[in-house]
Amino acid sequence: MPIFQITTKKRKHVNGIHIEPGMTVQVVTQSMSNPITTNGGQIVIDAFIRIYNINIKEAGCLNMSDLELKQV
């Protein structure tokens, strides 16, 4: 099972949600597919809610230009 590390690249303040560069989560997936784009990025959204209590989808950050993806 691949483990991916997702890190925010940019500072954003949208809809009352504050994103700082360097906020990082790790997710475990069943496949080698990009977890940011697979199934609407739900496991990434869930990980950011669990760790930081923020919804990155509502902040408009659930994309490859705002997030860095690295396989661990």
Task: Provide the pLDDT confidence category of residue 1 given band limits of 50, 70 and 90.
Answer: confident
Q: Give the DSSP letter string of 18-57.
A: EE-TT-EEEEE-SSSS-TTTGGGGHHHHHHHHHHHS--TT
pTM for the whole structure:
0.92
Structural domain span for residue 65:
3-71
Burial 7-35 (b: 16+ CB within 10 A, else e): ebeeebeeeebebeeebebebebeeeeeb
Q: How many domains does the chain have?
A: 1
8-53 pLDDT tens trace: 999 999 988 999 999 999 999 988 999 999 999 999 999 999 999 9
Higher per-residue pLDDT: 15 or 71: 71
